[in-house]
Amino acid sequence: MDNIPLWAQFLALAFLIFLSAFFAMAETALMAANRFRLRHQAKRGSRRAIATLWLLERTETLLSLVLVANTLLNAMAIALVTAIAITNFGMEEHVIVIAICAVVFVLIVVAEISPKIIGARYADQIVLPASVILRPLLRMARPLIWFVDLFVNALLRLFRIKPSSALQDARLSPDELRSVLLESGNFIPQKHKSILLNLFDLESISVEDVMTPRAQIEALDLSVPVEQIREQLTTCYHNKLPVYDGEINQIVGILHVRKAVGLLNEEDELTAEHFRALLSEPYFIPQDTGAFDQLQNFQENKERLAIIVDEYGEVQGLVTLDDIIEEMIGDFTTSTPSAARADSFGWDARGECILEGVTALRDINKRLGLDFPLDGPKTLNGMLLEWLQEIPEAPISVKIGNCIIEVMQVHDQSIKVVKLRRIDGPALQK
């Protein structure tokens, strides 16, 4: 040390501190880097992003390299300061202690805390150039890391800890991915975010939640006079109609209205058999089929309309491809009366809303911001009948959650019209 100029010794010390700061900053940046952005850049051919992902796939080895390098560099810096103090001031104990304390303080501030804060704050800007340096270093240091890992693994086995369980799988679960979307802020347009979240919700609902109930199905009865069939075809709102023979549970096929309209123009003496010849096979599905599964089934079977039946074969409703797609992207513009009603309801200035009993609870929760239970009946009428345990005589009011529901009209053993009024208070009472 006597032959080395003092400025060179301090330059060597500064270089050791710089290297220690680099490893601390690179380690923090790698752990905080956005892996999704890195994968996107790697797919576009970025060599730096590919090198970074290569390092992240070897996280245990990378951490070993950084810890070994930092420990060696910090020890060398302390040893160098000690040697400088002894060379210039002799074996003065208080000088040596002051020098060691000073370099430890510098290491903590300059080589540990500051670079880690910078690495966490500017992870995406630092991680790419740092990976270009770390990747060859990791390859060169493999023999040293392998030697150190022998003792590390032996120590872990002594405490019955499996080395492979130390790090968690980096893949995201659906719930975690949902949280990422919710916390994405303005990075994803609100409409796109809504579609993605609805797609996740599609996994948890069945076709029964999105179907047109049996009572609202527009269907064609072949047992009625032809004039009634003709009148219904000329006023129907749909391109396809389920066709039954006398009773809705006896569905015999699906009629394309365009074909039937062409038949009306061609035939003078029409009979039910003329319409029966135009029918295509009905597509039946069980009522507990998942909405997402049915979306795939529609694609595989090249169908757009399905009849929903229960375990006894009774028709419960009808679901179309449009119904499921609307769950993901929102309602389409349509002129059907049911759609007009569905789009019209909302709270008025007094905090009230008048609804039909057949309104779906999922639509009410979505449009009115309520939290009615969805694990039982699917409509407002069904929920009230289950809650009251009887068919009420209007008027009667119940409080469910933060809402007072007033039954305004009952007809044919079902609740036809209700009024909802917002209040505060989570209790359930009659």
The full set of domain ranges for the chain reads 6-165, 205-329, 345-422
Q: How confident is the model at residue 314 (pLDDT cuts 50, 70, 90)?
A: very high
Q: How confident is the model at residue 46 (pLDDT cuts 50, 70, 90)?
A: confident
Average pLDDT, the chain: 83
What is the model's pLDDT at position 424? 61
Q: What is the pLDDT of residues 102-136, one digit of tens each?
A: 999 999 999 999 999 998 898 888 888 888 888 88
What is the model's pLDDT at position 260? 82
* pLDDT score of 174 more than 80: no
- Give whichever of 105-119, 224-238, 250-264 has the largest mean pLDDT: 105-119
Segment 10-32 mean pLDDT: 89
* pLDDT score of 170 more than 70: no
What is the model's pLDDT at position 164? 54
* pLDDT score of 340 more than 60: no
What is the model's pLDDT at position 275? 85
* pLDDT score of 183 more than 80: no
What is the model's pLDDT at position 319? 93
What is the model's pLDDT at position 336? 52
* pLDDT score of 339 more than 60: no
* pLDDT score of 241 more than 80: yes
Place of tokens 């009773």: 247
Indicate the fold that domain 345-422 takes in CATH. Answer: 3.30.465
* pLDDT score of 410 more than 50: yes
Share of the chain above pLDDT 70, in %: 90
What is the model's pLDDT at position 363? 83
- Domain spanning 205-329: CATH superfamily: CBS-domain (3.10.580.10)
* pLDDT score of 270 more than 80: no
What is the model's pLDDT at position 203? 79
What is the model's pLDDT at position 204? 81
The least confident of 133-147, 188-202, 392-406 is: 188-202
What is the model's pLDDT at position 430? 40
Segment 245-261 mean pLDDT: 88
